[in-house]
Structure formats: structure tokens, C-alpha cells
Amino acid sequence: MADQPRRPRTLNDARTEAEAAFKRVTTKPAEAPPAKKSAIPGVKEQVSLRIDQDVLEFFRAGGPGWQDRINDALRKAAGK
């Protein structure tokens, strides 16, 4: 007995199979990332920052506390 010829696949058949396969392997939706911690007043964070040499020399020329002066200038520029 000869094998029956296969009927051609249609787009709807392929789409239905793909959707069914996708539903089988997907899991629950990913949870939202945790909320960012709120800033605590007065706590400073160490960062690496590139500043032009002349600007750095200007603040350092004022002696100790130059980092605080840079922070104050940045705060003023940020409108805070």
C-alpha cells in the first residue's frame, strides 16, 4: 500500500503549532526589579569622576575640603 501524500502546511497550521510550543515553555512573567533605595541624607557615595586638570587645581588650591567644595558647586549647578 502506498503512503498517502502529506497535505501542505499552511501558515495558520505553523502559527498554531508555534504558539502552542511557546506557551508550553514560557514561565510566569518576570518580577519587576526591586525599587532603588532612597538616598539617605548626609551619606556620600564614592564614585570615579574625570575633571579637567585646571578645574581640579582651582578647587585643590583652596586647601583641605576641596572635595566638599566640588560637591557644593555641583549641588548648586543641579539647583539643589
Helix (H, G, I), strand (E, B) or coil at 27: coil
Domain residue spans of the chain: 47-80
In tens, the pLDDT along 53-74 reads 999 999 999 999 999 999 999 9
- In this structure, which amino acid lies at residue 74? L
pLDDT for the residue 60: 95
Q: What is the pTM of this model?
A: 0.48
Per-residue pLDDT tens digits for 2-30: 667 776 666 677 788 888 888 877 766 67
* Distance in angstroms (rounded) separating the CA atoms of residues 21 and 19: 5
- Res. 38: pLDDT tops 80: no
Cell 508555534 found at: 18
pLDDT attached to residue 28: 67
CB contact at 8 A, 65 and 71: no
pLDDT at 1 over 60: no
The pLDDT value given to residue 2: 61
